[in-house]
């Protein structure tokens, strides 16, 4: 990376690479990775925990006064009253990781009073580092990212994620899926939401939608999208999505067309 990063982003990159090293080492011998189930279909491994610990250690060593919201340990680490909150998914795409499918990443975002300022998503399988600073653009390694220019949903490639937890509203999702599928050129479900949002930022997808996601799945990716010139919001098109469990993103034209399909389905989970 040739450019000078914001010091907080630099720390996040260091933490994400440390997590990536732990994940990559473990991926070489998956039979030895202990897996437990958080709930039906929702898995966690010792690798998720080890990667999360490494990230938190690096972040708090640099910024001991900051808050932490991490998928596996919640808010147990860090300050409780800081304006700064690191939002961490140590391993996004755990199900893929367990199966050896190389689509997973570490996601780290820094929010200041609820607004994401710095973001890193690191895909250790490709050594791809996505990063963004508010107002300074989104990048993949050394390359500036821009969302796609496609304007017709009929020609668009759309990413999504399927519901999979007990109690999810599968029927409503299938209705949305059917409507979007008939209106676009193709739908994809790779299985790591943080990367899905980076793919929108990179212009590889023209849009993305999913329900049931948590802040750690989307915080970093959301800044990638907006810094690449895209839009992100809830199904009715409002920018307030971090804790809403429904999300749509895309280049501005495709975003608007997805919102018009998804708005009637708001509040599905």
Binding site for ligand IPD (CB under 6 A): 89, 92-95, 161, 191-193, 212-213, 217
Burial 19-45 (b: 16+ CB within 10 A, else e): bbebbeebbeeeeeeeeeeeeeeeebb
Residues 83-102 interacting with Ca ion (rule: CB under 5 A):
89, 91-92
Residues 229-258 interacting with Ca ion (rule: CB under 5 A):
none
Write the DSSP string, 68-100.
EEETTTBTSSB-SS-SEEEEEEEEE-HHHHHHT
Q: Quote the least distance from Cβ 227 to ligand IPD, whole Å.
A: 20
- What 3-state class would DSSP assign to 52? helix
Q: Quote the least distance from Cβ 93 to Ca ion, whole Å.
A: 7
Residue nearest to Ca ion (CB): 92
> Which of 51/58 has CB closer to Ca ion?
51
Q: Pick from Ca ion, ligand IPD, none: which does 248 bind, CB < 5 to 8 A by kind?
A: none
Q: Residue 196 interacts with Ca ion (CB under 5 A)?
A: no
> Which of 89/246 has CB closer to ligand IPD?
89
Separation CA 228–CA 23 (nearest Å): 28
Separation CA 112–CA 83 (nearest Å): 6
> Which of 72/227 has CB closer to ligand IPD?
72
Residues 42-71 interacting with Ca ion (rule: CB under 5 A):
71
> Which distant-in-sequence residues (6+ apart) come within 8 Å of 157 by Cβ?
184, 185, 186, 188, 204, 205, 206
- Residue whose pair of structure tokens reads 């820094």 in the numeric block: 110
> Which of 105/145 has CB closer to ligand IPD?
105
Q: Quote the least distance from Cβ 198 to ligand IPD, whole Å.
A: 12
What residue ranges bind Ca ion (CB under 5 A)? 71, 89, 91-92, 217
């Amino acid at each position: 990376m040739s450019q000078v990063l914001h010091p907080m982003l630099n720390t996040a990159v260091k933490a994400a690479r440390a997590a990536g090293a732990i994940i990559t080492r473990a991926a070489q011998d998956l039979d030895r990775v202990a897996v437990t189930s958080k709930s039906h279909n929702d898995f966690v491994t010792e690798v998720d925990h080890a990667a999360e610990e490494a990230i938190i250690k690096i972040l708090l060593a640099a910024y001991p006064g900051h808050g932490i919201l991490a998928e596996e340990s919640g808010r147990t680490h860090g300050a409780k009253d800081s304006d700064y909150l690191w939002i961490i998914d140590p391993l996004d795409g755990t199900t893929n990781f367990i199966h050896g499918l190389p689509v997973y990443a570490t996601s780290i975002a820094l929010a200041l009073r609820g607004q994401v300022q710095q973001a890193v998503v690191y895909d250790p399988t490709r050594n791809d580092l996505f990063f963004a600073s508010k107002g300074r653009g989104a990048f993949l390694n050394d390359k500036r990212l821009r969302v796609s220019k496609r304007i017709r949903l009929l020609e668009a490639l759309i990413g999504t994620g399927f519901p999979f937890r007990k109690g999810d509203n599968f029927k409503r999702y299938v209705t949305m899926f059917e409507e979007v599928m008939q209106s676009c050129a193709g739908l994809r479900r790779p299985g790591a939401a943080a990367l899905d949002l980076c793919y929108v930022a990179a212009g590889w997808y023209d849009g993305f939608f999913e329900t049931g996601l948590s802040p750690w799945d989307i915080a970093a990716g959301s800044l990638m999208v907006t810094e690449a010139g895209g839009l992100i919001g809830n199904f009715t098109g409002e920018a307030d999505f971090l804790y809403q469990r429904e999300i749509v993103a895309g280049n501005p034209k495709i975003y608007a067309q997805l919102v018009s399909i998804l708005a009637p389905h708001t509040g599905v989970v």
